[in-house]
């Protein structure tokens, strides 16, 4: 097959490499010229994705994978188009389809008969049928279901381990017609391989959910579940602090029986997925009070962490505070919806003098994000661990000269600091 992948970011590029490695000819399309140039040199344009460099170094010189900025060069020659263009939400939590609308118009203008178009970007329920189908029909002059097919198949992978996750989880497919579903199932069966999953009654592989709406909702449901679960854990953590209980012992005890699956609390919920997809769900189901309450609970955690710091230290006005971690998740160089922004904002509102450290970012990159860079070994009166980078497990008191208190916002991270210096989310502190 000839396959086009639209959007060569942290999900799209590994997908393109996976398809090419399965023996197909893949052309990737991205609007960012430096990204395209780097890929065509056989190099990854971003760090941290396991095995991606090896794939590109092998597939690009072999001619199996190329990249371009031109839809006209890519779309007319392919059998399948896979769209992984970002969808954003605005300040009010409503979906912003700007990039995806533009990409869909460019696809439609170059679409040829019998092409299978698959959207993998997470969408509000109903988007494939009510937005992408009419847009592609209008732009191409063809009829979906007879002259081309549109399918939704959500990506279900985590950056840093995309190739592993592609094997691990069933590939969900939802089409607008039986013929489109059959084409999508056949496509993914050719480009993916799956691990054995005896725990799945249906077996691992490609699952046709019967409609685009079912597949759209499945992705939103699995991610919104995580946000709601974390929100519950965070509310438990705040209450546990008030009543002198260690919520982490409570969670371990609760999860010792098979009907409890409580997640872990923490200072923030970041990334492209968990903070965003509940908002996409709410855009279609505004009456989902549980989802809304969880989103609000999680969004309140950075300010709660700063309040705990102030409760122990007193007024933060003029105090130097180091925030350790700009990334939203340990080991990933990405700040999308990272809690660092709200943590820094809250600290500054309390009058603190704030600097930010992250081992994955240069001083110039941190400054570009609007932060004053902090370096381990510089004097500070307090610190907040915002990101669970593994390196922070080794931070000692000597790395934070003058530190009086460290707020550990990532309780799963084991620290080398004296216990009397540390206040942890979900654990009561005294004195």
Cross-strand bridge partners of residue 144: 148
CB 180 within 8 A of CB 151: yes
Strand 382-385 to 422-424 pairing: unpaired
Cross-strand bridge partners of residue 230: none
Which residue of the set 10, 171, 273, 319 is catalytic? 273
SS3 of residue 46 by DSSP: coil
Give the separation between CA 380 and CA 401, rounded to whole angstroms. 6
Phi, psi of 148 (to 5 degrees): -160, 170
Phi, psi of 289 (to 5 degrees): -65, -35
Q: Based on the residue annotation, tell me whether 273 is a catalytic residue of this protein.
A: yes
Residue that has been written with the tokens 């969880």 in this structure: 294
To 10 degrees, what angle do helices 340-349 and 301-313 make? 40
Q: Based on the residue annotation, tell me whether 219 is a catalytic residue of this protein.
A: yes
Tokens of 32: 């960012």
Which residue of the set 10, 133, 171, 219 is catalytic? 219
Cross-strand bridge partners of residue 406: 383, 422
CA proximity to 224, closest of 328, 330, 93: 93
Q: 3-state SS string over 184-200?
A: HHHHHHHHCCCCCCCCC
Q: Quickly list H helices, 3-65.
A: 12-21, 33-40, 52-59
- Which letter, b or e, does each residue of 286-308 get, where b requires 16 or more Cβ atoms within 10 Å of its Cβ? eebeebbebbebbbbbbbbbbeb
Which residues are known catalytic residues? Answer: 219, 273
């Amino acid at each position: 097959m000839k396959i086009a992948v639209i959007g060569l970011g942290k999900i799209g590029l590994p997908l393109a490499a996976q398809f090419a490695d399965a023996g197909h000819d893949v052309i990737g399309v991205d609007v960012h010229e430096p990204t395209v140039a780097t890929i065509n040199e056989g190099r990854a344009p971003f760090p941290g994705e396991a095995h991606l460099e090896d794939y590109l170094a092998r597939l690009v010189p072999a001619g199996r994978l190329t990249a371009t900025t031109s839809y006209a060069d890519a779309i007319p020659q392919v059998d399948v188009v896979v769209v992984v263009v970002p969808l954003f939400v605005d300040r009010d939590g409503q979906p912003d389809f700007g990039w995806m609308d533009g990409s869909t118009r460019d696809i439609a203008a170059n679409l040829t008969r019998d092409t299978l178009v698959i959207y993998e970007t997470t969408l509000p329920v109903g988007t494939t049928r009510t937005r992408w189908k009419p847009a592609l029909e209008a732009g191409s002059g063809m009829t979906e279901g007879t002259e081309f097919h549109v399918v939704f198949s959500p990506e279900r992978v985590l950056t840093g381990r995309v190739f592993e996750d592609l094997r691990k989880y069933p590939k969900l497919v939802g089409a607008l017609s039986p013929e489109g579903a059959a084409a999508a199932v056949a496509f993914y069966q050719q480009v993916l391989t799956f691990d054995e999953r005896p725990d799945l009654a249906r077996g691992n592989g490609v699952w046709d959910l019967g409609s685009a709406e079912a597949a759209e909702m499945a992705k939103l449901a699995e991610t919104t579940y995580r946000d709601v679960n974390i929100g519950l854990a965070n509310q438990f953590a705040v209450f546990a602090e008030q009543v002198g209980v260690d919520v982490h012992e409570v969670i371990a005890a609760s999860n010792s029986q098979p009907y409890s699956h409580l997640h872990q609390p923490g200072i923030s919920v970041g990334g492209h997925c968990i903070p965003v997809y509940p908002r996409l769900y709410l855009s279609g189901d505004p009456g989902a009070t549980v989802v809304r309450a969880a989103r609000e609970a999680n969004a309140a955690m950075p300010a709660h962490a700063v309040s705990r710091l102030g409760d122990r230290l007193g007024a933060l006005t003029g105090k130097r505070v180091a925030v350790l971690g700009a990334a939203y998740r340990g080991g990933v160089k990405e700040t999308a919806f990272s809690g660092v922004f709200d943590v820094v904002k809250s600290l500054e509102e309390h009058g603190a003098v704030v600097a930010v450290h992250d081992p994955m970012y240069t001083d110039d990159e941190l400054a570009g994000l609007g932060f004053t860079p902090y370096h381990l070994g510089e004097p500070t009166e307090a610190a907040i661990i915002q990101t669970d980078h593994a390196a922070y497990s080794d931070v000692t008191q000597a790395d934070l000269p003058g530190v009086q208190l460290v707020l550990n916002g990532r309780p799963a991270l084991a620290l080398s600091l004296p216990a009397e210096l540390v206040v942890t989310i979900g654990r009561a502190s005294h004195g």
